[in-house]
Structure 1
Amino acid sequence: MEILGLEPWQVVVILLAGFWAGTINTVVGSGTLVTFPVLVAMGFPPVTAQISNAMGLVAAGVSGVFGYRRELAESRAVLPALTLASLSGGLLGAFLLLVLPEEVFGVAAPILIVVALCFVVFQPRMSAWVRRRKARRQEAEGTPTPALAAAEPEVPSRPVSPALWLLVFGAGVYGGYFVAAQGVLLMGILGVFMAGTLVHANAVKTYLSLAVNLIAAVSYLLFALDRIDWRAVLLIAVSSMLGASLGARIGRRIRPVWLRAVIVAVGLAGLVNMVWRLVAGG
């Protein structure tokens, strides 16, 4: 007996993959590294799997954003500028996906993941460097520096630096093109260049990833409707939404050191996965 034209065991595998992807997307990102290979293994063509998966994970993003609504309210000062950066980048990335061969990304993705992991691993030192640089600039400009000025603010605040805006734009291009490991890249960027706690960075990461997925999904609906498999979209959407609800609770409670450890582990898994596919394909 088939369900949606698939064997029951295939439906179960896709649902489990979607649930895990939704959970890990909200905690760190990279859920696509679970769902995309599963869809391909279930017989979906790679481009169809990529597009359908990205659309299905929109539901996980909505659920994750709702779970982080408190932290996002505290981060509202930086959201307009960063949203514009993500949407612009996501639109460009989705366009590149539709016009460029997949082989181009196969070479670039491992490099981007290595950069992201470096951001995450060295985030504490880089954040301290950014704070010291800001304090020295304030002193040079004659701005009074309170005793606690070097301490990291509790919540994100304006202004958004040009470097942060451009890096988030670049992450949006990356996410609109392939989605996988976008969360790892954003966590590295936000952890270094955005004030606030790691939980705030996680919340903003979840929100910006949703923005990129939404703009990409609209692009796919307009220009690649024939490549969407609505069975995959439905299964991934339902299961990932449930997983994302759990992931938001985990992400809020996990200690920063463990959160970084999970990010690095997921990023390394994604790097191995992509390098293996690149070598095997070559």
Structure 2
Amino acid sequence: MTGLEHVAVVAAGLGAGLLTSTVGVASLVSFPVLVALGIPPVVANASNTVGLIPAGLGGSLGYRRELREQPKVTWLVVATCAVGSIGGAALLLALPPGVFESIVPWLILFTCLIVGAQPWISRWLRSRKPHDLEPRTSMGPVTTVFAALTGVYGGYFGAGSGVMMMAVLGLGLDLELRVVNALKTLAVLAANIVAGLIFVFVAELDFTAIGLLAAGSIIGGYAGAHIGRVLPPTLLRVLIVLAGITAAIAMLR
């Protein structure tokens, strides 16, 4: 890589880190940059996963106050996404490139719809059970299963996995959006760490790209957490939906 290409990858890492902690579509920025620099897609995907681990670390550190509010949910999110990502990483290494290309954009669009409509869906669900007035602050079996499936997708490719996790946790739990955003950031981190460890031992990686992404993403992740905390919930929800739609359209091209 040239000096300018090094700067471009660091900038991509910074942008991806910001998106990891806010709207959850980090790979929309970093993955295309790596491919544009001539790195093969599968190598770029695996390198991107490893390089964005610091983004999740920085973001989770920035959101530590929110994560302390729900310790049981926090640990369950980590466990389910970590286990799911093992399957996702195995799929990436075993299946031909692009197997899910035709369905993933539509899946992202569907989760964007859920994120946008989540306040109305939650109110409707609670109106169907008027006797159940206690807020849902623990993950039920259905939410746990879908969180694990999101972890599978995160280990396989990951673009839009943060949006998917926002939809899963937003529907399954009655928590403030800033807390859900913190849990989403930690979920992405858990999936990236486990998948990244697998890739380090069995996949081809570009360690220069990983180092440059990591340098930018840890700063972006930490800064993004502070931005995500102060954004009004409605604005944050709108930004998440717009980012998810943008990611889906980009993948459909």
Question: The TM-score by the shorter chain falls in which range?
Answer: over 0.9
Within 5 A, what are the aligned runs for 1:11-30? 11-30=6-25
Identity among equivalent positions (%) equals 39
Match of 1:104 in 2: 99
Match of 1:44 in 2: 39
* Kept in 1: contact 2:113–2:241 (CA 8 A): no
* Partner residue of 2:142 out of 147, 163, 170: 163
TM-superposed deviation, 1:84: 2.1
Match of 1:232 in 2: 209
Match of 1:259 in 2: 236
Q: Secondary structure at the match of 1:94?
A: helix
* Kept in 2: contact 1:85–1:172 (CA 8 A): yes
Residues 1:220 and 2:199 aligned together: yes
Match of 1:174 in 2: 153
- Return closer, same or farther for 1:135/1:222 CA change in 2, 3 Å cut-off: farther
TM-superposed deviation, 1:108: 2.1
Residues 1:90 and 2:85 aligned together: yes
Match of 2:73 in 1: 78
TM-superposed deviation, 1:83: 2.2
* Kept in 1: contact 2:17–2:217 (CA 8 A): yes
For normalisation by structure 1, the TM-score amounts to: 0.87
What amino acid is aligned across from residue 46 of structure 1 in structure 2? P
* Kept in 1: contact 2:60–2:222 (CA 8 A): no
More displaced 10-residue stretch of structure 1: 231-240 or 213-222: 213-222
What amino acid is aligned across from residue 203 of structure 1 in structure 2? A
2:108 and 2:226 mapped to 1: Cα distance? 26
Larger Rg: 1
Runs of 4 or more, structure 1, over 4 Å off, are: none
* Partner residue of 1:198 out of 177, 185, 188: 177
1:98 and 1:120 mapped to 2: Cα distance? 30
* Kept in 2: contact 1:75–1:204 (CA 8 A): no
What amino acid is aligned across from residue 244 of structure 2 in structure 1? G
Q: Secondary structure at the match of 2:24?
A: coil
CA offsets, 1:103-162, max 9 Å, x none? 2121121121022111111111111123234434x4xxxxxxxxxx37xx4xx723x211
* Kept in 1: contact 2:54–2:217 (CA 8 A): yes
* Kept in 2: contact 1:83–1:211 (CA 8 A): yes
Figure out how many residues of one structure are paired with residues of the other and give that number: 253
Unmatched segments (≥5 aa) in structure 2: none
1:190 and 1:242 mapped to 2: Cα distance? 26
* Kept in 2: contact 1:86–1:169 (CA 8 A): yes
* Partner residue of 1:183 out of 157, 162, 173: 162
What amino acid is aligned across from residue 61 of structure 1 in structure 2? G
What amino acid is aligned across from residue 176 of structure 1 in structure 2? G
Unmatched segments (≥5 aa) in structure 1: 1-5, 139-148, 277-282
Match of 2:249 in 1: 272
What amino acid is aligned across from residue 36 of structure 1 in structure 2? F
1:44 and 1:82 mapped to 2: Cα distance? 32
TM-superposed deviation, 1:44: 0.9
Residues 1:210 and 2:189 aligned together: yes
What amino acid is aligned across from residue 166 of structure 1 in structure 2? V
1:134 and 1:232 mapped to 2: Cα distance? 51
